[in-house]
Amino acid sequence: MNFLVINGHKYYPYAQGRLNKTLFDEIIRILKNNGDEVVTTVVEDGYNVEEEIEKYKNADFIIFQTPMNWFSVPWILKKYFDDVYAHGVFYTGSKEYGRGGLFKGKKYMYSITCNPSEDVFDNPNLFFGVQSPEDLIVALHKIQQFCGMEPVKSYFCFDVVHNPDIEKYMKNLNNHMQIYVLNNYIS
């Protein structure tokens, strides 16, 4: 299977991206060890729009490794979407809004690092109320679905600033990849 793995981290002195880079590298390692073809993009290193379009055309599955910044992705990843997701290539008009995606049959997954602890979700008495982590990124899902792609369950690393647990994140990522990515097809 052909994978495109994208690192959407934006460097800041207080958020240097070491965890996102570690997860990005682990995703690549898992896929290559499975015998899959992997191409990558590190958005902050720059990109050529035409080359990115070709990467998407050739990919069966796209994985986005990114932090959550202000309840969304870093601005450089949003800019990447704006630059690369061209009308007539990724989507077109349709009678029913949102049904003109041209990348039907492709799957995608978000792998997200975020600061809230897991217990603040799905709890009406805490900050996010009854929202799940997936609810928090619904707009990100709609971007990909607008282009016709199908989601697999997102992977989240919680409490990454105050209580990081790299060993747990790596173990859980491996389990998640096995269940939701590698078991989705026969390589």
Three-class HEC string of the chain: CEEEEEECCCCECCECCHHHHHHHHHHHHHHHHCCCEEEEEEHHHCCCHHHHHHHHHHCCEEEEEEECECCECCHHHHHHHHHHCCECCCECCCCCCCCCECCCCCEEEEEEECCCCHHHCCCCCCCCCCCCHHHHCHHHHHHHHHCCCEECCCEEECCCCCCCCHHHHHHHHHHHHHHHHHHHCCC
* C-beta atoms surrounding 178 within 10 Å: 12
pTM: 0.94
Residue 14 — pLDDT band, cuts 50, 70, 90?
confident
pLDDT in tens, 67-116: 988 888 999 999 999 999 999 999 999 899 989 999 999 999 999 999 88
pLDDT in tens, 157-169: 999 888 889 999 9
Question: What domains sit in the chain, N to C, each tagged with a CATH number?
Answer: 2-184 (3.40.50.360)
Q: What is the structure's pLDDT at 120? A: 86
